[in-house]
């Protein structure tokens, strides 16, 4: 007869065998798994290295192209704006190096840059919209009318358009020297703008902005600059809104303009201001404005072409 002790020993032996098998099996599987992961990791590392090498090569080609565009830019725009005057308006996020390079290129095109007006952070601050609207209403020059739009960007564009731009039809200033000084002085004292020394009205305007606008109230801030630039265009012979890469996205001023068909019918936009080629395009777009045409230029998906006269 088989004893209870024999049963216990047999059962224990079975469980021991199972445990040993599991350990041995898992060890073998783990080895194969680790080996496979190591191989995958090595393959991914090689792929990342290859992609990085390709990116470095592309970056080098872009840098070479930008240097070439910078060298031939003055020749490409020579005479395009002969005997024309241009005023620069820079948003708070505009890069000084882009402004300086564009100003130099405008002079190479034959234009006279009449000065710069800087828009401060407060200009596009939604919390200060009512204050800006009140200032605009008080500072409007005699004989000019504010646009119908009730938003601060449009209203400010109406005021500063009459101050910064000469009349399209009369080719004369739209405000007296005292009115210009009062408007710029009032907005400056309130912290909305910073006028450059010797600023005077011009025929054309370029509004410079940065790239993508992020942070709290980003969309509202971008809309103020976009509507300001649009109204500024309507106040004179023409204007261009130029921003860096990213400005054509939904949270950038260029993107806001391009989403508005009424705005794009009058205001030209460029989304590659941070590239030498983009600054050339900005000058050519300004020339196109003189001819009563507007376009969306650059490298973003909502651009119609890289430059005026070039197919997309």
One domain for residues 198 and 68 = no
* Domain-located, residue 124: yes
Give residue-wise pLDDT tens across range 114-172. 999 999 999 999 999 999 999 999 999 888 888 877 899 999 999 999 999 999 888 89
One domain for residues 49 and 89 = no
One domain for residues 20 and 157 = no
One domain for residues 148 and 284 = yes
* Domain-located, residue 308: no
Cα distance between residue 244 and residue 237, in whole Å? 24
Name the burial class of residue 165, with classes exposed (0-12), middle (13-18) and buried (19+) by CB atoms within 10 angstroms of its CB. Answer: buried
Boundary (domain end) residue, out of 77, 110, 132: 77
One domain for residues 60 and 100 = no
Q: Residue 108 belongs to a domain with what CATH number?
A: 3.40.50
One domain for residues 60 and 33 = yes
Cα distance between residue 312 and residue 305, in whole Å? 4
How much is the mean pLDDT over the chain?
86
Cα distance between residue 269 and residue 310, in whole Å? 15
Cα 256 vs. chain centroid, distance in angstroms? Answer: 10
Average pLDDT over residues 286-311: 92
One domain for residues 16 and 100 = no
How many degrees, rounded to 5, is the angle at CA 194 between CA 287 and CA 182? 95
Give residue-wise pLDDT tens across range 231-272. 999 999 999 999 998 888 878 999 999 999 999 999 999 999
Cα distance between residue 149 and residue 250, in whole Å? 22
Q: Is the pLDDT reported for residue 312 higher than 90?
A: no
Instruction: Output the pTM of the full model.
Output: 0.80
Give residue-wise pLDDT tens across range 177-234. 999 999 999 999 999 999 999 999 999 999 999 987 777 788 899 999 999 999 999 9
One domain for residues 204 and 251 = yes
One domain for residues 104 and 26 = no
pLDDT band at 298 (very low <50, low <70, confident <90, very high): very high
Percent of the chain with pLDDT over 70: 82
* Domain-located, residue 190: yes
Whether the Cβ atoms of residue 243 and residue 253 lie closer than 8 Å to each other: yes
Position 13 scores a pLDDT of 47
* Domain-located, residue 33: yes
One domain for residues 222 and 272 = yes
Q: Is the pLDDT reported for residue 305 higher than 90?
A: yes
Q: Is the pLDDT reported for residue 17 higher than 50?
A: no
Alpha-carbon torsion, ordered 217, 218, 219, 223, to 10 deg: 100
* Domain-located, residue 306: no
* Domain-located, residue 305: no
One domain for residues 98 and 64 = no
Position 25 scores a pLDDT of 53
Cα distance between residue 69 and residue 64, in whole Å? 9
Boundary (domain end) residue, out of 61, 77, 93: 77
pLDDT band at 38 (very low <50, low <70, confident <90, very high): confident
- Residue 308's φ and ψ, nearest 5 degrees, are -55, 135
Q: Is the pLDDT reported for residue 60 higher than 70?
A: no
Boundary (domain end) residue, out of 77, 111, 133: 77
One domain for residues 49 and 177 = no
Residue keyed to tokens 């005057």: 85
Whether the Cβ atoms of residue 226 and residue 257 lie closer than 8 Å to each other: yes
Percent of the chain with pLDDT over 90: 64
Query: Which range of residues forms the domain containing residue 30?
Result: 1-77
Cα distance between residue 95 and residue 16, in whole Å? 74
Please tell me the total count of domains within the chain: 2
* Domain-located, residue 311: no
Sign of the C-alpha dihedral computed for residues 213, 217, 219 and 223 taken in this order:
negative
């Amino acid at each position: 007869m088989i004893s209870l002790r024999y049963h216990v020993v047999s059962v224990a032996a079975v469980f021991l065998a199972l445990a040993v098998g599991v350990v041995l099996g898992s060890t073998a599987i783990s080895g194969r798994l680790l080996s496979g992961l190591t191989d995958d990791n090595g393959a991914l590392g090689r792929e990342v290295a290859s992609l990085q090498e390709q990116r470095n090569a592309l970056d080098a080609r872009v840098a070479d192209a930008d240097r070439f565009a910078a060298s031939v830019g003055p020749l490409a725009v020579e005479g395009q704006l002969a005997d024309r005057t241009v005023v620069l308006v820079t948003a708070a996020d505009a890069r000084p190096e882009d402004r300086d390079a564009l100003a130099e290129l405008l002079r190479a095109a034959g234009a006279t840059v009449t000065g710069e007006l800087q828009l401060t952070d407060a200009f596009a601050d939604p919390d200060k919209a009512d204050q800006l609207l009140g200032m605009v209403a008080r500072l409007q020059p005699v004989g000019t009318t504010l646009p119908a739009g009730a938003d601060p960007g449009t209203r400010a564009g109406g005021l500063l358009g009459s101050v910064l731009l000469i009349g399209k039809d009369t080719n004369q200033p739209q405000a007296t020297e005292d009115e210009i000084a009062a408007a710029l002085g009032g907005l400056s004292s309130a912290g909305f703008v910073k006028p450059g020394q010797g600023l005077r009205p011009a025929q054309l305007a370029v509004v410079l902005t940065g790239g993508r606008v992020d942070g709290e109230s980003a969309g509202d801030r971008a809309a103020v600059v976009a509507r300001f630039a649009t109204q500024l265009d309507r106040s004179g012979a023409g204007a261009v809104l130029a921003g860096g890469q990213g400005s054509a996205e939904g949270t950038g001023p260029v993107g806001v303009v391009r989403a508005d068909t009424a705005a794009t019918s009058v205001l030209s936009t460029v989304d590659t201001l941070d590239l030498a080629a983009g600054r050339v395009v900005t000058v050519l777009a300004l020339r196109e404005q003189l001819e009563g045409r507007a376009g969306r230029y650059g490298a973003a998906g909502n651009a119609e072409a890289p430059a005026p006269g070039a197919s997309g």
